[in-house]
Amino acid sequence: MSFLRNPRIIILLVAVAIALYAIFLSPAPFQHISWESGAAIRSVAHDSAAAAAGIQSPNPRDKPLTRERVIMVNGERVTSADEYHQRIAEIMQQGVGTEFTLRTDRNLYFLTLEGEYETVVLPELERVNVTEEVEREVNGTTVKENITRVVEQNKTTQRLIGVEDVGLTVYDAPRNNIRKGLDLSGGTRVILKPREPVDEEGLKIIMENIDRRLNVYGLSDLTIRHANDLSGDDFIVIEIAGANQDEVRDLISSEGRFEGKIANQTVFTGEERDIRHVCRSSTGSCLVRVTCNPSEGSWVCNFEFGITLSDEAADRQAAVTKTLTTDVESGGAYLNKPLDLYLDGELVSSLRIAADLKGRAINDILISGGKTGETRAQAQENAENEMRRLQAVMSTGSLPVKLDIVKADSISPVLGSSFVKNAFLVGLISILVVTAIVMLRYKRWLISIPIIVTMGSELLLILGFAAIAGWQLDLAAIAAIIIAVGTGVDDQIVIADEALQGDTQRKLSWKDRFKNAFFIITAAYITTVAAMLPLLKAGAGILLAFGLTTIVGVSVGVFITRPAFAALVELLVKE
């Protein structure tokens, strides 16, 4: 057991242990982990029975093993997504108003089925009051006001056409922390290109707005990233698991509408003519601030950021607030109606209005709020995330540039599952073929077995790194893993051949033999990395996973597994 005292072998064993922990446990301490079979929750639709019961969409950055999973429906066990859909289908047959329970690995929820209705236009007419927003000139200033008039229109009624879906999108509960890319899990990838050059801040605003808009529609299991190609063009890549291509195209191409309402009256929208500027960093007169203070064993962090309203929006805000009353609380004085923020008709936030704004037409106003946390760092992160969310919402509708959809791909979950099986089969065949060739080449298990073990170690280290980094494993990444492991076998054969030269060339020391081997290995490593670097920028980031995984794979081999293999071969040959 002398090999257990070799530092290079110890480093390999520690690295493998860390990789196993990352793959089958949670790299983030104190997170809830579950290995129970069931149906993992991918997303929750807004205004659905599931949302009304309190079920929340997971954070797309959460590790797969920390995802909440459904394990029982009405007391019946659920072990897969198919079983979940079967149980729900049986309950939906009972009709609107049916109550049932849904147990997850974290909580018990009580749901009620809701009806799905369609609007039917009747031939009878009725007189109704219609409120319209009109503009008129007052002392040289354009003022918007609401005017109500009576019109005749057809009567309508709501007709029940079925039972509305529960609102949960689920998939088979994962057994590890390896994230599957769209090639393997199914979903849609859309590549957007700005019509004109955009700076880094503009791209950040665009991505935050798209993220917020898709979240409003219940599409939370998504990634949005910036990419560029070799010519320097900027792209935005959106990958959404479990969504179809037409649905994503419609949401991205349609124009989002943001509204700020007080007492159910619109005072400003996301159009540039109403909100001239949203502060994102403190520069000059633009204020962005987060302050934190301890509070009864926890921390509270308050944030403030400024927005600039147009004169018309400031006048509307003054006209609406002048009739409101003031509520005095221990924390200060506020108007009795909040500022409600809507995105595409969905209420996303409500903010208190300071009493000193009553009836005043002020262009520069402060938006403030707060969040709590167990630690200062946690509270500050929560407050900053909420502030960025509100900044993105208020910018919606006034994106810096228009976007074009240059490419859209959609892969079905069934096809993705087939890719997984085929990739696993190809990998297994590759390992078996390499094993057979190595055994035939050396006919000595003392050399052959370490090569196979090292090959498996490299695979675990690459997957462990992917789990820690949160990479998505797609077909390109799997191809890169096969290349990296294959390159590793080549290098190990070089090391083994140099070690076995002792049978005919005893004049060479072990140090000289391995020095010769690692000169070849290092030269091959530098060549491989240099060849992969252009792929990090090519194809709007589509080849990023292939290039990056290959670089990580060969780096793991050169700096961890090759030295350990050389040490192991030296010990085995000497013995």
Domains in the chain (CATH in brackets) are 2-25+413-574 (1.20.1640.10), 39-114+165-170 (2.30.42.10), 119-161 (no CATH), 187-256+402-410 (3.30.70.3400), 278-378 (no CATH)
> Is residue 260 classed as helix, strand or coil in its secondary structure?
strand
* CA–centroid distance for 97 within its chain: 34
pLDDT of residue 83: 92
* Residue 197 burial class via C-beta count within 10 angstroms: exposed 0-12, middle 13-18, buried 19 and up: exposed
Nearest to 215 by CA among 346, 116, 111, 109: 346
Q: Average pLDDT of each block of 10 consecutive residues along the chain (575 residues)?
A: 77 92 68 68 83 85 85 92 91 91 92 82 75 61 66 76 86 86 76 81 76 64 76 81 62 65 81 74 71 85 84 85 80 79 73 81 81 86 80 62 75 65 76 78 74 86 88 81 83 78 56 74 87 75 79 89 83 70
For the chain, helix (H) and strand (E) counts, in that order, are 14, 24
pLDDT of residue 251: 61
User: Is the dihedral angle over the CA atoms 117, 119, 125, 126 positive or is it negative?
Assistant: positive
What are the helix (H) ranges across 31-133? 49-52, 81-92
To the nearest 10 degrees (0 to 180), the angle between helices 376-395 and 200-216 is 90
Element of type H or E holding 298: strand 298-309
* Residue 24 burial class via C-beta count within 10 angstroms: exposed 0-12, middle 13-18, buried 19 and up: middle
- The pTM score is 0.64
CA atoms within 13 Å, Cβ hemisphere of 186: 15
How far apart are the C-alpha atoms of 233 and 394, rounded to whole Å? Answer: 27
Tokens of 293: 């203070």
How far apart are the C-alpha atoms of 65 and 470, rounded to whole Å? Answer: 12
Angle made by CA atoms 523, 529, 530, in degrees to the nearest 5: 90
pLDDT of residue 142: 60
Tokens of 321: 């607030």
Nearest to 316 by CA among 268, 364, 271, 259: 268
Q: Provide CB contacts within 8 A for 503, sequence distance 6+.
A: none
Tokens of 276: 């001239």
Q: Provide CB contacts within 8 A for 429, sequence distance 6+.
A: none
Give the amino acid at 164: E
Tokens of 285: 């007169």
- Which 3-state string (H, E, C) describes 427-463? HHHHHHHHHHHHHHHHCCHHHHHHHHHHHHHHHHHHH
* CA–centroid distance for 289 within its chain: 27
The full length of the chain comes to: 575
